[in-house]
């Protein structure tokens, strides 16, 4: 099963057949306490308490190989501040720094991560892998 959101999957297919161009998006990593689903409608991000999406650039990712891509750098969120972000169960990529955007890709964490006050949540190199298949 693909890790792509519906929006990104449709755009890639349209690009491959020459139907429409697809501008390279800026990808932001988000955290969610619920399954966002393919459309992103179920995404429940922490609110306040130091939470912010993390901007990524092309250099933060490996070259795609075997229909997968992974993070080439550590990707670190700000420390939780003044309270708990809750139990983080999912993460993914979206094309806007805040608010509703277009879901690019998402995955469930293998086990939830409780992010309480002062905790810094980060993804070490190679710990994020998105796949087309």
Distance CA(89)–CA(91), nearest Å, equals: 7
Element (H, E) at 29: strand 28-32
What pTM was computed for the model?
0.91
Residue ranges of the domains in the chain?
A: 6-17+26-122
Enter the tokens of residue 48.
Answer: 């306040």
pLDDT at 10: 87
Look at residue 24 in the predicted model and tell me its pLDDT. Answer: 87
What pLDDT, on the 0 to 100 scale, is given for residue 12?
Answer: 87
pLDDT at position 1: 62
- pLDDT value for 61: 96
The pLDDT profile of the chain, 133 residues, written as one tens digit per residue, is 678 888 888 888 888 889 988 888 899 999 999 999 988 999 999 999 999 999 999 999 999 999 899 999 999 999 999 999 999 999 999 999 999 899 999 999 999 999 999 999 999 999 999 998 8
Do 75 and 94 touch, CB atoms closer than 8 A? no
Task: Output the pLDDT for position 15.
Answer: 86
pLDDT at 124: 97
What was the pLDDT predicted at 46?
97
Query: Of 31, 24, 12, 23, nearest to 106 (Cα)?
Result: 31
Please tell me the predicted confidence (pLDDT) of residue 2: 79
């Amino acid at each position: 099963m693909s890790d792509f959101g519906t929006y990104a999957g449709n755009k890639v297919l349209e690009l491959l057949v020459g139907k429409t161009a697809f501008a390279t998006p800026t990808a932001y990593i988000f955290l969610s306490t619920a399954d966002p689903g393919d459309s992103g409608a179920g995404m429940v991000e922490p609110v306040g308490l130091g939470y912010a999406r993390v901007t990524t650039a092309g250099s933060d990712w490996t070259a795609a190989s075997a229909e997968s891509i992974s993070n080439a750098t550590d990707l670190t969120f700000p420390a939780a501040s003044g309270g708990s972000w809750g139990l983080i169960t999912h993460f993914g990529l979206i094309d806007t720094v805040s608010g509703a955007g277009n879901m690019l890709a998402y995955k469930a964490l293998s086990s939830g991560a409780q992010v309480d006050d002062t905790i810094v949540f980060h993804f070490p190199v190679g710990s994020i892998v998105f796949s087309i298949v």
